[in-house]
Amino acid sequence: MWHKNDGKPSPEVPQPPVGGTTKSQVMPPETPAALTVEPAPIAPTPAPRVTIPEPVVATAPAVNGASRIQAGLKIHGEISGNSDLYIDGELQGKIRLGGARVVIGPNGKVQADIDAGAVTIEGSVQGNIKASESVRLGAGSRVQGSVVTPRIGIDDGARLRGKVEMVKAGSTPSASTAAAAAARATETEAPRPIAASAKAE
């Protein structure tokens, strides 16, 4: 099937030089016309499909309709409002987005206190996080500061330096945590947010 020996002289095929070469070292013939190229036979059964694992690319969860701070952008200041926000750049300051969703992408670097509805972190955050719904720390996340939320999800590999505190779902973070913090201050001395104090100095 692959080779017909019909008595005709076979076209000249360049032979490897003495000493031998590996297949990858064989150079193409100088006269390609000397070669006869036959169409490849159709295999009766499909060859097993080889799946090549896709390279691991740091991707952030998509946030449809969110305002985006793309990688390469640096922002200093306060961001407030009620729109979802995706940060893959750098931000320094404060984020106050009520019940909106905030996503810190894998390239995102945030040095700010975050007050939002749901916070998902794949990048790094230095600051205190308050979320009225949930906080999720992705596998590549690095967080320095306290996390106050009714629900928290921590992927293996996440790095957290700070405290985790649970509040009742639906409570406004700013109001509840302020009251809780005041109560704690009299009840017991709570650890200071490490990152905030360390970086502030």
Partner 1 sequence: MNWMAKARPSNTATTPGSSAKAPASAAAAARSRAPEKPGPTASVAPAGNVRISNALKEFLWLLSDVPRARILDLGPVWQSTVTFFIEKGYRVSSEDMLREWKDFLTTEEERLRMAPVGEEVERRSLPALAEKFIDTALNYPENSVHGVLIWDLLDYFDPAVVPALMNRLYNMLHPGGTVLALFHSRPAERFHRYRILDGQTVELLSAPTLAVHAHVFQNREILDLFGKFRSSKTFVGRDQVREALFIK
- What is the pattern of x (binds partner 1, CB under 8 A) and - over residues 82-121? ----------------------------------------
33 phi, psi to nearest 5 deg: -65, -20
| 196 to 69, 111, 158, 200: CA distances (angstroms) | 23, 9, 19, 6
Give the three-class secondary structure for 32.
Answer: helix
In the complex, least distance from residue 54 CB atom to partner 1, rounded to whole angstroms: 14
Q: Which of 140, 137, 159 is nearest to 59 (CA)?
A: 140
Q: Is 182 in the site for partner 1 (CB under 8 A)?
A: no
76 binds partner 1 (CB under 8 A): no
Residue 162 in the binding site for partner 1 (CB under 8 A): yes
Task: List beta partners, residue 115.
Answer: 96, 130
Tokens linked to 195 = 């990152």
> Which residue among 104, 131, 152, 173 contacts partner 1 (CB under 8 A)?
152
Q: Which stretch binds partner 1 (CB under 8 A): 1-9, 45-53, 68-76, 182-190?
A: 182-190
Residue 161 in contact with partner 1, rule: CB under 8 A: yes
CB of 186 to partner 1, least distance (A): 13
Sole window of 44-52, 63-71, 102-110, 190-198 interacting with partner 1 (rule: CB under 8 A): 190-198
Distance CA 70, CA 93 (A): 17
154 is an interface residue for partner 1 by CB under 8 A: yes
In angstroms, the CA 128 to CA 30 distance is 69
Residue 137 binds partner 1, judged by CB under 8 A: yes
Which residue in 11, 14, 17, 153 binds partner 1 (CB under 8 A)?
A: 153
User: Does 167 engage in binding with partner 1 (CB under 8 A)?
Assistant: no
**Candidates 12-20, 45-53, 88-96, 146-154; binding stretch for partner 1 (CB under 8 A):** 146-154
Strand 67-69, strand 85-87: pairing: parallel
Buried b (16+ CB within 10 A) or exposed e, 82-107: eebbbbbbbbeeebbbeebbbbbbbb
Residues in touch with partner 1 (CB under 8 A) = 137, 139, 152-166, 187-192, 194, 197-198
